[in-house]
Amino acid sequence: MPGFVEKTPLSIQAPASPKDAPTLRSGNPDFFSSTLRYKPTFRPDTARDNLYKLLTPGVIRDRFLDRRIEQLHHRFRSYSAYYPYGQWAPGLEVTDEMRSVTETFLPAPEIHSAFRRLFSLARRHRPLPPASGAGTEMNWLDFLLRHRSIRTGANPALLLESLCDDEAFRIRFLFEHFLPRRHGGGFNRYPRQMRFLQRHLERRTNSFGEGIRCLDAACGTGEGTYDLAGLLRHCGLPVAGRGIRGSTIEPLELFAAAHGFFPHDPARESGFKGVMQSLMDDKALDEVEFLLEDVSIPRHNDETAYDVILCNGLLGGPALHREEDLAQAVASLAGRLRPGGILLAADRFHGGWKKLMPDLRQMEIMSRCGLEVIFTGEGIAATKGRG
- pLDDT tier at 279, thresholds 50, 70, 90: very high
pLDDT higher than threshold 50 for residue 354: yes
Q: What number does CATH give the domain 191-384? A: 3.40.50.150
- C-alpha–C-alpha distance, residues 210 and 195, integer Å: 23
Are 122 and 131 spatial neighbours (Cβ–Cβ below 8 Å)?
A: no
Angle among Cα 214, 268, 236 to the nearest 5 degrees reads: 30
Tell me what the mean pLDDT of segment 157-183 comes to. 90
User: How confident is the model over 94-110, as pLDDT tens digits?
Assistant: 999 999 999 999 999 99
- C-alpha–C-alpha distance, residues 79 and 85, integer Å: 11
Task: Select the more confidently predicted residue: 2 or 35.
Answer: 35
- pLDDT tier at 5, thresholds 50, 70, 90: very low
Tell me what the mean pLDDT of segment 233-260 comes to. 92
Are 238 and 202 spatial neighbours (Cβ–Cβ below 8 Å)?
A: no
Cβ count near 330 (within 10 Å): 25
Q: Whole-number mean pLDDT of the chain?
A: 84
Lowest mean pLDDT among 17-21, 218-222, 338-342: 17-21
Task: Select the more confidently predicted residue: 39 or 365.
Answer: 39
Tell me what the mean pLDDT of segment 208-233 comes to. 93
pTM: 0.86
Which H, E and C letters describe the chain, residue by residue? Answer: CCCCCCCCCCCCCCCCCHHHCCCCCCCCHHHHHCCCEECCCCCHHHHHHHHHHHECCCCCCCHHHHHHHHHHHHHHHHHHHHCCCCCCCCCCCCCHHHHHHHHHHCCHHHHHHHHHHHHHHHECCCCCHHHHCCCCCCCHHHHHHHCCCCCCCCCHHHHHHHHHHCHHHHHHHHHHHHCCHHHCCCCCCCHHHHHHHHHHHHHCHHHHCCCEEEEEECCCCCHHHHHHHHHHHHHCCCEEEEEEEEEECCHHHHHHHHHCCCCCCHHHHHHHHHHHHHHHHCCCCCCEEEEECCCCCCCCCCCCCEEEEECCCCECCCCECCHHHHHHHHHHHHHHEEEEEEEEECCCCCCCHHHCCCHHHHHHHHHHCCEEEEECCCCEEEEECCC
Are 362 and 345 spatial neighbours (Cβ–Cβ below 8 Å)?
A: yes
- 380-384 and 337-345: which strand pairing? antiparallel
Domain limits, CATH 3.40.50.150, in the chain:
191-384
- pLDDT tier at 350, thresholds 50, 70, 90: low
pLDDT higher than threshold 50 for residue 24: no
In this structure, which amino acid lies at residue 83?
Y
Burial of residue 281 (CB within 10 Å: 0-12, 13-18, 19+) is exposed
Task: Select the more confidently predicted residue: 356 or 107.
Answer: 107
User: How confident is the model over 318-333, as pLDDT tens digits?
Assistant: 676 678 888 898 999 9
Phi, psi of 288 (to 5 degrees): -95, 140
Task: Select the more confidently predicted residue: 33 or 244.
Answer: 244
Q: What is the pLDDT of residue 207?
A: 84
Task: Select the more confidently predicted residue: 125 or 41.
Answer: 41
Lowest mean pLDDT among 27-41, 125-139, 226-240: 125-139
- C-alpha–C-alpha distance, residues 339 and 385, integer Å: 5
